[in-house]
Structure 1
Amino acid sequence: MSTLICGSIAFDSIMVFQDHFKNHILPEQIHILNVSFLVPEMRREFGGCAGNIAYNLKLLGGDPLIMATVGDDAGPYLERLDSLGLSRAHVTHVPGTYTAQAFITTDLDDNQITAFHPGAMVHSHLNKVEHSAGVTLGIVAPDGRDGMLEHSRQFAEAGIPFVFDPGQGLPMFNGEELLACLQLATYCTVNDYEARLLSERTGRSIEALANEVEALIVTRGSEGSEIYTGGRRIDIPCARAAALEDPTGCGDAYRAGLLYGIENGLDWDQTGRLASLMGALKIACRGGQNHAPSRDQIADAYRAAFGSTLW
């Protein structure tokens, strides 16, 4: 039972400015902004929604298949996929492009200035869901706009249940397009900000939108999450994290927990709690893919957090 994960593969270059942006950006001079920040600390992380989700699903014992597009500079990422035992059969190289990448500068107040280059991601529509075999579940995560629309339609045409996860790509779509994707999807997941935007753009309440899918999941950070299904709302508590190091990739870890629960027939309360736990395990480490608990350690952490067994 494979889960097809349509989304981005990206590099994240994270730099730390040992001062405060506010000391160097003068409000009265904002119309002629020209600043340079010395960043002695820098690290490069493997990221992207598809890469992060697949990494976490593999930790859980799932069988993720990544469907993504990469550029000429993807060699180190492809080698990493091989080392992790993650198939790259559906990772397409687009010649003459760069792999999607974010350049993030953080100051001492944790303010961030980010530049994002989509690169090969805008060609994600070149990948076709029907080219994969043995897939029983899917997810359409943030990716190129055309790819997200096409993959939603292709999953539905193939009769494969899938999660619609618009994420940071949500502003690319109008209300009609978002509603059409919801009606094609089996499940939908958004964070609380995205839920408000989804509601505004479609002109429908979250409760009404939940009627379009089997379950609509809204994450609320430290306040936990909510699962709307079967005309009711299930409140999921936030799992306590060992440390609060870096929120990058926490939403993707949560989604991996959702996919595992759906694929393995867990009830929604268990599925939501597992997803919450995966986010908590991630936030204790820097980067989207540097936490590495074993499956047994995940089960122990679930028992400690919620007082019940998972498997």
Structure 2
Amino acid sequence: MASIICGSIAYDTIMTFEGRFQDQILPEQIHILNVAFLVPSMRREFGGCAGNIGYNLQLLGGKPLIMATVGADADPYLSHLERLGISRQFIKKLDQAFTAQAMITTDLANNQITAFHPGAMNDSHTNRVGDCMAHLSNNDRHIGIVAPDGRIGMWEHCHQFSQAKIPFIFDPGQGLPMFNGQELLELVDLATYVAVNDYEGEMLCQRTGLSLHELANRLEALIVTKGAQGAQIHAQGKVIDIPAVPAEKIADPTGCGDAFRGGLLYGLEKGLDWETTGRLASLMGSIKIAHQGPQNHQPTRAEISDRFKAAFGTAITL
């Protein structure tokens, strides 16, 4: 089984502010907010939701097929994917645009302020799930994920997966505010699974007017991550609590949610039960947060298996 990963490919410019944002912002003056943060360190990383999810799935030994749009400046990223052994067959290069760019400033409390230029991501709808499927064997089963991307692309790819009868995860993430309640409910009903963090889950409930329990009843599974509190998987009429795995250190939260989703896809590819899948996803998030940048952790599958057994007391074969 392969995973078709629809979402953004982006360059992340990550800066560190050696203080706390809250100490620099005066609540009584927020109507005339004008702040500047000195960022002594800065680095450029390979990022974007589709790139990050694919990277983590590849680490686990899964089969990521990234479907995304990039700009004229994409060659370093495309070469990076080739070195990892991730196919670029379904990544479309648009020479008239920049690759999406995220400018992320993190403070010492791991709060983040992000400015994002979508660039080529706005044309993600020019990729079609059917074109991807035409190049794949009909004998293989596939799973999809629609991660944050251009609005039209997210909308159309959800419908295309549904029409092709390919089970998929709807992962609205930062793209959730682009859709109203009725639109979100339609996308939930098309999806097989939905993955959100706790803040996004609350927003999803507010916009659709449904509780998490009611949303879960429309899906095979609803996955809600809760940071250091772990995660909950609502499936088959019950709630499975997934513990967080303590990290070796807290270096950088960027891409932790994508690492978690890479673990989800691997579990779905391999037909693992939800408790094992959730625990593996939690471990991947823990491994990621101990490293700067979304794609710099490099554990072997044997190391991931060893850490899984150490964290949960049971073995897993990757």
TM-score by length of 2: 0.93
**CA distance in 1: counterparts of 2:193 and 2:32, whole angstroms:** 46
CA change 1:73–1:180 in 2 (3 A) is same
Deviation at 1:19, TM superposition (A): 5.4
**CA distance in 2: counterparts of 1:299 and 1:242, whole angstroms:** 16
Query: Corresponding residue for 2:50?
Result: 50
Residue 245 of structure 2 is aligned to residue 239 of structure 1: yes
Query: Corresponding residue for 1:290?
Result: 296
SS of residue paired to 1:150? helix
Residues 57-66 or 8-17, more deviating? 8-17
**CA distance in 2: counterparts of 1:26 and 1:204, whole angstroms:** 36
Deviation at 1:246, TM superposition (A): 1.0
CA change 1:220–1:27 in 2 (3 A) is closer
Q: How does 1:1-311 map to 2 (within 5 A)?
A: 1-18=1-18, 36-108=36-108, 110-132=110-132, 133-134=136-137, 136-311=142-317
RMSD: 1.8
CA change 1:123–1:304 in 2 (3 A) is same
**CA distance in 2: counterparts of 1:46 and 1:266, whole angstroms:** 29
Aligned residue pairs total 311
Deviation at 1:40, TM superposition (A): 3.2
SS of residue paired to 1:89? coil
SS of residue paired to 1:4? strand
CA change 1:172–1:88 in 2 (3 A) is same
Which portions of structure 1, spanning 4 or more consecutive aligned residues, are displaced by more than 4 angstroms? 18-38, 107-111
CA change 1:276–1:211 in 2 (3 A) is same
Contact kept, 8 Å, 2:110 with 2:253, in 1: the verdict is: no
1:152-173, Cα deviation, whole Å (9 max, x unpaired): 0000111111011001111111
CA change 1:123–1:26 in 2 (3 A) is same
SS of residue paired to 1:87? coil
CA change 1:192–1:37 in 2 (3 A) is closer
> Partner letter of residue 115 of structure 2?
A
CA change 1:95–1:272 in 2 (3 A) is same
1:167-186, Cα deviation, whole Å (9 max, x unpaired): 11111111111111111111
SS of residue paired to 1:248? coil
SS of residue paired to 1:97? coil
1:122-163, Cα deviation, whole Å (9 max, x unpaired): 110000001112461010001001000100000011111101
**CA distance in 2: counterparts of 1:193 and 1:61, whole angstroms:** 31
**CA distance in 2: counterparts of 1:19 and 1:250, whole angstroms:** 22
**CA distance in 1: counterparts of 2:198 and 2:22, whole angstroms:** 28
CA change 1:16–1:236 in 2 (3 A) is closer
CA change 1:34–1:85 in 2 (3 A) is same
Residues 54-63 or 226-235, more deviating? 226-235
**CA distance in 2: counterparts of 1:20 and 1:208, whole angstroms:** 38
Deviation at 1:113, TM superposition (A): 3.2
Identity %: 63
